[in-house]
Protein backbone atom coordinates (compact mmCIF):
# COMPACT_ATOMS: atom_id res chain seq x y z
CA UNK A 1 0.00 0.00 0.00
CA UNK A 2 1.06 3.58 -0.64
CA UNK A 3 0.43 6.78 1.29
CA UNK A 4 0.55 10.24 -0.21
CA UNK A 5 -0.31 12.81 2.46
CA UNK A 6 -3.86 12.16 3.63
CA UNK A 7 -4.67 9.55 0.98
CA UNK A 8 -3.94 5.83 1.31
CA UNK A 9 -3.88 3.69 -1.83
CA UNK A 10 -4.36 -0.02 -1.09
CA UNK A 11 -3.82 -2.68 -3.78
CA UNK A 12 -6.83 -5.00 -4.10
CA UNK A 13 -6.88 -8.38 -5.86
CA UNK A 14 -9.29 -8.29 -8.81
CA UNK A 15 -11.42 -11.05 -7.21
CA UNK A 16 -11.78 -8.91 -4.07
CA UNK A 17 -13.23 -5.89 -5.91
CA UNK A 18 -17.00 -5.79 -5.15
CA UNK A 19 -19.02 -7.15 -8.11
CA UNK A 20 -20.44 -4.42 -10.36
CA UNK A 21 -17.77 -1.88 -9.40
CA UNK A 22 -16.65 -1.60 -13.01
CA UNK A 23 -20.21 -0.72 -14.08
CA UNK A 24 -20.43 2.26 -11.69
CA UNK A 25 -20.06 5.64 -13.43
CA UNK A 26 -16.43 6.52 -14.07
CA UNK A 27 -15.32 9.73 -12.38
CA UNK A 28 -14.49 12.45 -14.90
CA UNK A 29 -10.93 13.62 -15.48
CA UNK A 30 -10.06 17.20 -14.55
CA UNK A 31 -9.22 19.97 -17.03
CA UNK A 32 -5.64 18.66 -17.15
CA UNK A 33 -6.84 15.17 -18.05
CA UNK A 34 -6.02 13.64 -14.65
CA UNK A 35 -8.06 11.35 -12.39
CA UNK A 36 -8.58 13.24 -9.14
CA UNK A 37 -8.52 10.98 -6.06
CA UNK A 38 -9.03 13.85 -3.60
CA UNK A 39 -9.33 17.58 -4.17
CA UNK A 40 -8.50 20.41 -1.76
CA UNK A 41 -11.49 22.77 -1.85
CA UNK A 42 -9.45 25.94 -1.27
CA UNK A 43 -6.01 25.47 -2.85
CA UNK A 44 -7.33 23.21 -5.61
CA UNK A 45 -4.34 20.97 -4.88
CA UNK A 46 -5.17 17.43 -5.86
CA UNK A 47 -3.98 13.88 -5.34
CA UNK A 48 -4.28 12.87 -8.99
CA UNK A 49 -3.36 10.00 -11.29
CA UNK A 50 -1.72 10.72 -14.61
CA UNK A 51 -2.18 8.18 -17.41
CA UNK A 52 -4.81 5.65 -18.43
CA UNK A 53 -7.19 4.21 -15.86
CA UNK A 54 -10.62 4.59 -14.30
CA UNK A 55 -11.90 5.74 -10.92
CA UNK A 56 -15.31 4.92 -9.45
CA UNK A 57 -16.94 6.04 -6.22
CA UNK A 58 -19.51 4.02 -4.34
CA UNK A 59 -22.58 6.06 -3.38
CA UNK A 60 -22.92 7.62 0.06
CA UNK A 61 -20.62 9.70 2.24
CA UNK A 62 -18.64 6.66 3.42
CA UNK A 63 -18.57 4.90 0.05
CA UNK A 64 -15.18 3.59 -1.03
CA UNK A 65 -13.33 4.67 -4.16
CA UNK A 66 -11.78 2.12 -6.50
CA UNK A 67 -9.01 2.89 -8.95
CA UNK A 68 -8.18 0.63 -11.87
CA UNK A 69 -4.85 1.08 -13.62
CA UNK A 70 -4.51 -1.20 -16.67
CA UNK A 71 -0.89 -0.16 -17.27
CA UNK A 72 0.15 1.28 -13.92
CA UNK A 73 0.45 5.03 -13.33
CA UNK A 74 1.73 7.86 -11.19
CA UNK A 75 0.02 9.71 -8.35
CA UNK A 76 1.02 13.34 -8.13
CA UNK A 77 0.29 16.18 -5.70
CA UNK A 78 1.46 19.79 -5.52
CA UNK A 79 3.03 19.29 -2.06
CA UNK A 80 4.03 15.63 -2.02
CA UNK A 81 6.51 13.55 -4.02
CA UNK A 82 4.95 11.46 -6.81
CA UNK A 83 4.37 7.72 -6.30
CA UNK A 84 4.50 5.12 -9.08
CA UNK A 85 1.81 2.46 -8.95
CA UNK A 86 2.02 -0.95 -10.64
CA UNK A 87 -0.95 -2.03 -12.79
CA UNK A 88 -3.99 -3.42 -11.00
CA UNK A 89 -6.93 -2.44 -8.78
CA UNK A 90 -6.68 -0.15 -5.76
CA UNK A 91 -8.96 1.02 -2.98
CA UNK A 92 -8.47 4.71 -2.23
CA UNK A 93 -8.97 5.75 1.41
CA UNK A 94 -9.17 9.35 2.61
CA UNK A 95 -7.70 9.99 6.06
CA UNK A 96 -10.16 10.80 8.85
CA UNK A 97 -9.68 12.25 12.29
CA UNK A 98 -11.33 11.36 15.57
CA UNK A 99 -13.71 13.84 17.14
CA UNK A 100 -15.79 12.88 20.18
CA UNK A 101 -19.25 12.00 18.88
CA UNK A 102 -18.24 12.39 15.23
CA UNK A 103 -15.58 11.53 12.72
CA UNK A 104 -14.34 14.08 10.26
CA UNK A 105 -12.09 14.04 7.23
CA UNK A 106 -8.58 15.39 7.39
CA UNK A 107 -7.69 18.19 5.02
CA UNK A 108 -3.95 18.72 4.76
Give the interface with other proteins as residue ranges (CB under 8 A).
1-5, 8, 24-25, 27-31, 40-43, 45, 57, 61, 77, 79-83, 93, 95-100, 104-108
- Whole-angstrom distance, CA of residue 2 vs CA of residue 67: 13
Minimum CB separation of residue 98 from other proteins in Å reads 5
Minimum CB separation of residue 100 from other proteins in Å reads 6
Nearer to other proteins, 14 or 59 (CB): 59
- Whole-angstrom distance, CA of residue 7 vs CA of residue 53: 18
Q: What DSSP element (H or E) covers 8?
A: strand 7-12
- Whole-angstrom distance, CA of residue 87 vs CA of residue 40: 26
Minimum CB separation of residue 14 from other proteins in Å reads 19
Tell how strand 96-99 and strand 73-77 pair up. unpaired
Nearer to other proteins, 10 or 17 (CB): 10
Terminal C-alpha separation, the chain: 20
Minimum CB separation of residue 15 from other proteins in Å reads 18
Amino acid sequence: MYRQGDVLIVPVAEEAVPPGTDRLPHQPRDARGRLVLALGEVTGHAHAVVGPGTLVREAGPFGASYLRLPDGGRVVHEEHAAISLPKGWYRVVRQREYAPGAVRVVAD
